Amino acid sequence: MFQEMLLQKYPYRMVPGLPPKRMLGADREFIESRRRALKRFINLVARHPSFWDDILVNIFLSYNSQDVQNKMRESIRGVGDEYLTTTFAAQAKDFLPADIQVQFAASRELIRNIFNSFYKLRDRAERMAARAIDNATDLMGFGKELSALGSDTTPLPSWAAHSSWGALKQALKGLSVEFTVLADKAAQQGKLEEIDVVDKLNLFLDLLQSYKDLCERHEKGVLHKHQKALHKYSLMKRQMISATVQNKEAESVEQLESRIVEQENAIMVMELRNYFSLFCLHQETQLIHIYLPLTSHILGAFVNSQIQGHKEMNQVWNELKPKLNCLFVGSSSLATPPLSPEERHFFSR
């Protein structure tokens, strides 16, 4: 409802899309995903130069009553869209560069290419974060199996009375704790990548998508209506010429002239709206370029999360390494399996 009202008031601006709802089967993962999407939506709306101090937005963000929808409807009733409320809307053409159509086409192509690349980057970042979470699950499972081995109470047969199994069980149970720590570190890295990398990529993608939607509204909306009105005007002029040649009744000709005048006025308004739409698009394109440096922040967050995650995991693995000696070095009275050259090198370091 809020998004529809915002579009009604600002049809020539980048209005981000709301995440889809799911009435049935809304699991925890979907709820968390939608919560993040709503947060991004609110951030983009609240940061937009045309929206941030609008009464409609203020009501949506701060009104704490059940009749908030009625309150929002009242705020836009009879107000009109941005074209009608902007004092210089009719002079928008004067503020545009002469090659605005060429610039618009180039900007649209650039944003389309950026969107496609960032879409792929987001998908890969999501998979990397998911792999970190899966790695945490596997490490946790690995540790649980070690703990299960160490906690096994099955009695040993008499011939295995001098087996090293008892000592190994104690060592395995102790090592299981280390894998719990490793699992926590992997999970933390996955969450960090989701928050600092994937969410920022999604925020930028939401903005780029709203720009693409705006371009489509411009072409299928005011521009299409303007072209359609011009075509209708051309047909009416032909009818007028035909009526004059055929010496039709004066009343019929006057009605046709009146309709032509009305059409001319409608075309003039549509033309002004078309230029105002291009003016807004020009501003929104500049806003996209203001957001472009977010790329460096995203890459910085990605690199930092990788460095921090691998550093912490490396520290735990290094602390775990000397604790493995108890698994390979038995007492002098117990036989130990022969070590490979790689194992001897590993434990001699």
Q: What is the 3-state secondary structure (H, E, C) of the chain?
A: CHHHHHHHHCCCCCCCCCCCCCCCCCCHHHHHHHHHHHHHHHHHHHHCCCCCCCHHHHHHHHCCCCCHHHHHHHHHCCCCCHHHHCCCHHHHHHHCCCCHHHHHHHHHHHHHHHHHHHHHHHHHHHHHHHHHHHHHHHHHHHHHHHHHHHCCCCCCCHHHCCCCHHHHHHHHHHHHHHHHHHHHHHHHHHHHHHHHHHHHHHHHHHHHHHHHHHHHHHHHCHHHHHHHHHHHHHHHHHHHHHHHHCCCCHHHHHHHHHHHHHHHHHHHHHHHHHHHHHHHHHHHHHHHHHHCCHHHHHHHHHHHHHHHHHHHHHHHHHHHHHHHHHHHCCCCCCCCCCCCHHHHHHHHC
Q: Which residue has the higher pLDDT, 331 or 140?
A: 140
Distance CA 179, CA 323 (A): 12
pLDDT tens digit string along 281-312?
A: 999 999 999 999 988 999 998 999 889 888 98
Question: Could you tell me what percent of the chain has a pLDDT over 90?
Answer: 26
Q: Which CATH class is domain 1-79?
A: alpha beta
| Residue 273 CB partners (closer than 8 Å, separation 6+) | 83, 222, 226
Q: Look over the chain and give the mean of its residue pLDDT values, rounded to a whole number.
A: 82
Q: What is the dihedral of CA 223, 229, 235, 241, to 10 degrees?
A: -120
- Of 30-39, 204-213, 246-255, give the lowest mean pLDDT range: 246-255
pLDDT tens digit string along 216-249?
A: 888 887 666 767 777 676 766 666 666 665 666 6
Task: Inform me whether the pLDDT recorded for 117 exceeds 60.
Answer: yes
pLDDT tens digit string along 75-103?
A: 888 778 888 888 898 898 899 888 888 98
Distance CA 108, CA 284 (A): 11
Distance of CA 206 to the CA centre of its chain: 5
Residue 49 CB-density burial (10 A; 0-12 exposed, 13-18 middle, 19+ buried): exposed
What is the predicted pLDDT for the residue at 331? Answer: 45
Structure tokens at 281: 């698009």
Task: Inform me whether the pLDDT recorded for 330 exceeds 60.
Answer: no
Task: Inform me whether the pLDDT recorded for 336 exceeds 70.
Answer: no
Residue whose structure tokens are 């703990």: 147
- Give the pLDDT band (50/70/90) at residue 267: confident
- pTM, 2 dp: 0.78
Distance CA 348, CA 345 (A): 5
pLDDT tens digit string along 133-151?
A: 999 999 999 999 988 888 8
What is the predicted pLDDT for the residue at 161? Answer: 63
Question: For residue 203, which of 194, 192, 215, 190 has the smallest C-alpha distance?
Answer: 194
pLDDT tens digit string along 7-58?
A: 888 888 999 988 877 666 667 878 888 888 999 999 999 999 988 888 888 8
Quickly count: other Cβ atoms within 10 Å of residue 38's Cβ. 12
Distance CA 19, CA 299 (A): 25
Establish how many alpha carbons lie within 13 A of residue 269's alpha carbon, considering only the half-sphere containing its beta carbon: 10
- Give the pLDDT band (50/70/90) at residue 162: low
Task: Inform me whether the pLDDT recorded for 332 exceeds 50.
Answer: no
Structure tokens at 113: 């290419």
What is the predicted pLDDT for the residue at 127? Answer: 92
What is the predicted pLDDT for the residue at 333? Answer: 47
